[in-house]
């Protein structure tokens, strides 16, 4: 695709078919302003931003960026790098296979957002802008200049389309790119790129989970959000996705190695506990992806199957408060929890899966609430004494597998792994197992039949597919995978209570957040629900100081994401075609009769 940046270097960036736009700067001047502003914003991070260490991160040191200055430095460096790639510098053009100006525009906005938030936070906490040192002003003014210059850059449009103004540029910056065809690389180079990509992802995730104060985490969200969108718009994510698709087994192995290394990067066991809970949430979301993403069954009570597995493991794992009074080995407790969840999935699915759409959603929502109320009433007063009612089943003992006590710290290769890290690694094995099950199921004949049912159940039935049997199979498989995760959750949390398995709430896991993780991450994909679950668990855990405003921000983010990326963060080709208009069926204008072409233009 020929971008306007390649043939309009000396034209006005804002001279459009609709007249002059808001930022009348030549393209060369706009790119120069972006470059100079980004360089100034970067240089300002090496100067003091405030005079007192009372603001978190100690931004008083000259020559050594810290805290939010580091995020600004990274964002400004990326902006500068992408701005320089617009000059056609050899070696930098590979950064922007999908266009130069759109990613530069997004990264400049991210730099301005991070600097602006930091300056506002300093002024609010310390009592006014008088507390800002010259470094903050240098970075702030530089980021503003870079943003103005980036907004004046023309949109990355094909040669036959016109740049109609600032709003079109911003909207086009958020659309999916059409990257140039990449040059074939040796297999070893492609594998190294995959490994580097997962290594960077591990570092970014570790940095976010290790943020020690709320101001730094909010700045982290601003920086990562704009940076990821900018890199995606540049086409780099598409190229990496193509490589991971080509070397799928290598990509899965690299992802597992990166996840395995996470607990070895943590000095605080609290963050390893967050990681373990994220894996539990992600595994359950991947199980729900079988039901919703592949088979197209809207399940609003899926968290109940997680509770079934957790309660089953709690009853048979030797808790003093268990009325059964037995202690199974962990492998037996896992199998018991999975089998009981499977049975519940069949019992609930058999009479209800003949329903469709909203009716099925209401029935599954009712099952989730019935499970929670039943566990609450089995207290010896309202019903048999089995679950200890609202008090739940506490004091679930730690696991001990082959002499390895998961409740004790262990030294491995010079690193100390605490209790949470032990359970994280165990849950990682479960996640790998669930990923393999999902992948094999999705690629099998049964998986293709699930997709056919999801797209059009009537047509699938007419082609000879037994829709009810396959929907019941998907429902049972999803319930089994959730039960597996529940058996580990019972030991991680030490206790299980009915309040852990609500339909909605401020913290996951609950049915609403599980469904959101699947939809926001990308239905029918492997990595989508994993990424969605990680974000939806990490963000509430780090923003607890917002209290009731968490759901407000979550709703706002949901609206924005559904508006600009309805197919999810990671989407397959089917969803991209479904949610975005394409010109595949359009008739070229020159092939129409002359009178038809005139009528088309008149109608437009």
Shared domain for 307 and 188, answered yes or no, is no
Shared domain for 233 and 322, answered yes or no, is no
DSSP for residue 207: H
- Residue 276 within a domain: yes
Shared domain for 330 and 461, answered yes or no, is yes
Query: Which of 116-125, 186-195, 520-529, 560-569 is predicted least confidently?
Result: 560-569
Is pLDDT at 580 greater than 60 in this prediction?
no
Q: State pLDDT tens for residues 481-498.
A: 999 999 999 988 888 888
Q: Which pLDDT value is given to residue 164?
A: 55
Shared domain for 495 and 561, answered yes or no, is yes
- Residue 249 within a domain: no
Token reading at 463 = 């082609």
Shared domain for 171 and 289, answered yes or no, is no
By residue range, what is the domain housing residue 192? 4-242
- Residue 467 within a domain: yes
Shared domain for 59 and 172, answered yes or no, is yes
Query: Which of 35-44, 471-480, 576-585 is predicted least confidently?
Result: 576-585
Shared domain for 451 and 570, answered yes or no, is yes
Is pLDDT at 583 greater than 60 in this prediction?
no
Q: Which pLDDT value is given to residue 107?
A: 93
Q: What is the CATH number of the domain that holds 343?
A: 1.10.3470
- Residue 589 within a domain: no
- Residue 292 within a domain: yes
Shared domain for 238 and 274, answered yes or no, is no
This prediction has a pTM of 0.79
- Residue 597 within a domain: no
Shared domain for 187 and 278, answered yes or no, is no
Is pLDDT at 211 greater than 60 in this prediction?
yes
- Residue 407 within a domain: yes
**Total domains present in the chain:** 2
Sign of CA dihedral 532, 535, 540, 541: positive
- Provide the CB-side half-sphere exposure for 369 (13 A, CA): 8
Averaged pLDDT score across all residues of the chain? 81
Shared domain for 21 and 126, answered yes or no, is yes
Is there a contact between 179 and 173 (Cβ–Cβ < 8 Å)?
Answer: no
Name residue 311's beta-bridge partners. none
Q: Which pLDDT value is given to residue 420?
A: 87
- Residue 341 within a domain: yes
More confident residue, 356 or 12: 356
Shared domain for 82 and 133, answered yes or no, is yes
Average pLDDT over residues 46-51: 93
More confident residue, 160 or 97: 97
Share of the chain above pLDDT 70, in %: 85
Between vectors from CA 311 to CA 310 and to CA 317, what angle results, nearest 5°?
85
Average pLDDT over residues 158-173: 57
Cα 377 to Cα 138, 388, 493, 549: the distances in Å are: 63, 8, 22, 32
Query: How far apart are alpha carbons 89 and 86 in whole angstroms?
Result: 8
Q: State pLDDT tens for residues 66-93.
A: 889 999 999 999 999 998 888 877 777 7
Is pLDDT at 46 greater than 90 in this prediction?
yes
Shared domain for 455 and 514, answered yes or no, is yes
Q: Which pLDDT value is given to residue 600?
A: 40
């Amino acid at each position: 695709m020929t971008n306007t940046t390649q043939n309009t270097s000396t034209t006005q960036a804002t001279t459009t078919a609709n007249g002059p736009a808001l930022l009348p700067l030549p393209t060369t001047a706009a790119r120069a302003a972006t470059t100079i502003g980004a360089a100034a914003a970067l240089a300002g991070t090496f100067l003091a931003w405030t005079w007192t260490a009372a603001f978190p991160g100690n931004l008083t040191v000259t020559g050594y960026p810290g805290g939010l200055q580091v995020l600004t430095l990274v964002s400004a460096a990326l902006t500068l790098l992408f701005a320089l790639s617009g000059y056609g510098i050899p070696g930098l053009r590979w950064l922007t296979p999908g266009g130069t100006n759109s990613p530069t525009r997004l990264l400049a906005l991210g730099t301005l957002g991070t600097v602006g938030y930091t300056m506002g936070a300093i002024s609010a906490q310390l009592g006014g802008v008088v507390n800002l040192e010259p470094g903050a002003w240098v970075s702030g003014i530089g980021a503003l200049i870079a943003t103005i210059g980036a907004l004046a850059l023309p949109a990355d449009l094909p040669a036959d389309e016109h740049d109609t103004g600032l709003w079109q540029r911003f909207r086009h910056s958020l659309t999916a790119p059409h990257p140039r065809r990449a040059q074939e690389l040796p297999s070893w180079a492609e594998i190294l790129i995959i490994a580097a990509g997962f290594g960077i992802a591990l570092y970014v995730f570790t940095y976010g989970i290790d943020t020690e104060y709320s101001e730094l985490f909010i700045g982290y969200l601003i920086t990562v959000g704009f940076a990821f969108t900018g890199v995606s718009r540049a086409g780099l994510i598409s190229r990496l996705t193509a490589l991971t698709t080509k070397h799928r087994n290598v990509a899965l192995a690299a992802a597992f190695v990166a996840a395995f290394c996470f607990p070895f990067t943590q000095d605080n066991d609290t963050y390893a506990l967050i990681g373990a809970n994220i894996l539990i949430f992600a595994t359950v979301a991947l199980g729900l992806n079988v039901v919703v993403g592949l088979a197209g069954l809207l399940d609003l009570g899926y968290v109940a199957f997680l509770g079934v597995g957790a309660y089953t493991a709690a009853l048979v794992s030797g808790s003093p408060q268990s009325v059964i009074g037995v202690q199974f080995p962990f492998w037996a407790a896992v199998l018991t929890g999975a089998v009981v969840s499977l049975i519940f999935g069949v019992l609930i699915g058999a009479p209800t899966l003949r329903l469709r759409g909203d009716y099925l959603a209401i029935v599954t929502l009712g099952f989730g609430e019935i499970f929670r109320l039943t566990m609450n009433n089995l207290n010896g007063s309202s019903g048999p004494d089995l679950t200890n009612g609202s008090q739940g089943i506490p004091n679930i003992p730690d696991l001990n597998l082959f002499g390895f006590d998961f409740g004790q710290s262990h030294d491995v290769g010079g690193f100390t792994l605490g209790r949470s890290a032990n359970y994280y690694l165990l849950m990682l094995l479960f996640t790998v197992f669930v990923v393999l099950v999902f992948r094999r199921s999705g690629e099998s004949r049964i998986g293709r039949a699930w997709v056919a049912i999801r797209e059009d159940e009537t047509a699938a039935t007419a082609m000879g597919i037994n829709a009810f049997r396959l929907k019941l199979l998907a429902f049972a498989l999803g319930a089994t995978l959730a039960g597996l995760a529940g058996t580990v959750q019972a030991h991680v949390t030490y206790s299980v209570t009915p309040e852990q398995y609500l339909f909605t709430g401020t913290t996951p896991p609950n049915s609403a957040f599980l469904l959101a993780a699947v939809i926001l991450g990308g239905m029918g994909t492997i990595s989508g629900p994993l990424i969605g679950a990680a974000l939806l668990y990490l963000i509430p855990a780090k923003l607890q100081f917002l209290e009731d405003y968490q759901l407000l921000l979550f709703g706002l983010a949901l609206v924005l994401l559904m508006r600009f990326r309805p197919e999810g963060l990671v989407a397959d080709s089917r969803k991209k075609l479904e949610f975005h208009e394409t010109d595949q069926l359009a008739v070229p204008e020159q092939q129409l009769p002359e009178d038809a072409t005139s009528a088309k233009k008149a109608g437009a």
